[in-house]
Amino acid sequence: MTKTLVPLFLLLSQFLTGVHSTAQPTLKSAYKDYFPVGVAVAPRNLTGPEAELIVQQFNSVTPENAMKMGPIHPEENRYYWQDADAIVDFAQKNGLKVRGHTLCWHSQTPRWFFTDANGQQVSREVLLARLRQHITDVVTRYKGKIYAWDVVNEAVPDGGESIYRNSKFYEIIGEDYIEKAFEYAHAADPAAKLFYNDYNTENKVKRDKIFQIVKKLKEKGVPIHGVGLQGHWALDEPSEQELEESIRKFADLGLDVQITELDVSVYPKEHEARPKKPTDDGVLTEEMIRKQTAQYKMIFDTFRKHKGAITGVTFWNVSDKATWLDNFPVRGRKDYPLLFDQNYQPKPAFWQVVKF
Ligand code: GLA
């Protein structure tokens, strides 16, 4: 009797005095029963305080640039593997998952891809052969180490009637470049989960266009497993209804949904780049912090509500120290879109996200 009572008493008193645990929740501990929480990284993030923060908080990484077509395949017969290898090695050493990003995208694509030795545009056959070679080489190199790939990125335009962006891939190959890319990736690593990835996916018109494309791919038996909602959001968008509609619509097709590039700008959303104005002073105000905290709360409340449908959430950059939004849509205007501040400390939004 006393044998069991003593430890119980001890436990209780420790609990009441708060001695039992000084451990604070982390992103990965808070969401362990929901989905992996990832972060986009560059090789410079893999040492020092950022590396510590990555290992402490996250259980997945995405190379921010290192696996894009331009950086990894700068010339026809030359790959540059060093940065991508470093990220995959870091992940393996620290037990992190890796999302690959991205196998086919109209942007950051090297010019040689579309032209022959005389500078002429290549034929459909040549471009398909190059796409196949590229995807096969990259996916094979990391086979078994990358659990999910963004296969095609941003194939849908924001405006206009067409559901396909008029990219070089579309112009030269036709709409079936998308299914080919998925087939090549699946052949190279049949175990990898394959995603279509895009931004502005909460806009009704764009969401419906993407829906048409992925539905058609599913019906044709193309090996697509999920849709990536990039999640480059802001204080004023998306609304809860818009976000829920996107998650439901794609999940109802039997596809995994991942948030692949999450950040919440402290400025109202602007979709086009524009010059800096004198009022763009980059000062973080109390009001911005309050609104950002509320927006992050809404977003993660919604993610948890759709447990099961959402199979991953990845932040786009580690902390407010450096984010691509410092230069977009306004070059040189500081933004503060992440959960950790410029000194890597958790922000009010972080606590809203982990305490529920
Ligand atoms: C898009 C791409 C990402 C990245 C961001 C900006 O969302 O998918 O790879 O380039 O733009 O950083």
Indicate the residue type of 33. Answer: D
For residue 16, is it within any domain? no
* Count of domains forming the chain: 1
pTM equals: 0.93
Residue 247 has pLDDT above 50, yes or no: yes
Q: How confident is the model at residue 22 (pLDDT cuts 50, 70, 90)?
A: low
The protein residue with its alpha carbon nearest to ligand 1, atom 4, reads 64
Residue 91 has pLDDT above 50, yes or no: yes
Give me the mean pLDDT over the 334-346 stretch: 98
Q: Which domain holds residue 245?
A: 30-270+280-354
Predicted local distance difference test score (pLDDT) of residue 232: 98
Give me the mean pLDDT over the 289-310 stretch: 98
Q: Among residues 209, 265, 255, which one has the least CA distance to residue 232?
A: 265
Residue 16 has pLDDT above 80, yes or no: no
Predicted local distance difference test score (pLDDT) of residue 351: 98
List residues near ligand 1 (CB under 6 A). Answer: 101, 153, 199, 230, 261, 324
Give me the mean pLDDT over the 81-88 stretch: 98
For residue 181, is it within any domain? yes
CB atoms closer than 10 angstroms to residue 322: 15
For residue 22, is it within any domain? no
Q: What percent of the chain has pLDDT over 90?
A: 93
- The token duo for 139 is 């996916």
For residue 50, is it within any domain? yes
Q: How far apart are the CA of 217 and the centre of ligand 1, in A?
A: 24
Give me the mean pLDDT over the 313-331 stretch: 97
- The token duo for 149 is 């790939």
Residue 59 CA neighbour count, 13 Å, CB half: 15
Q: How far apart are the CA of 15 and the centre of ligand 1, in A?
A: 46
For residue 232, give every residue at least 6 positions away whose Cβ sits within 8 Å of its Cβ, in sequence order, or none: 199, 261, 262, 263, 265, 316
For residue 335, is it within any domain? yes
Question: Any alpha helices (H) in 65-200, and if so which ranges?
Answer: 69-72, 82-93, 124-141, 168-173, 177-188
Q: How confident is the model at residue 20 (pLDDT cuts 50, 70, 90)?
A: very low
For residue 9, is it within any domain? no
Q: Among residues 68, 59, 137, which one has the least CA distance to residue 101?
A: 68
Q: Among residues 293, 257, 267, 318, which one has the least CA distance to residue 58?
A: 318
For residue 17, is it within any domain? no
Q: Which atom of ligand 1 is nearest to the CA of 68?
A: 9
> To test the ligand 1 pocket, which listed residue (64, 152, 261) has its Cβ within 8 A of the most ligand atoms?
261
Q: How far is CA 151 from CA 10, 226, 270, 349, in A?
A: 54, 10, 27, 31
Residue 356 CA neighbour count, 13 Å, CB half: 22
DSSP element (H, E) containing 290: helix 286-305
The CATH number that applies at residue 257 is 3.20.20.80
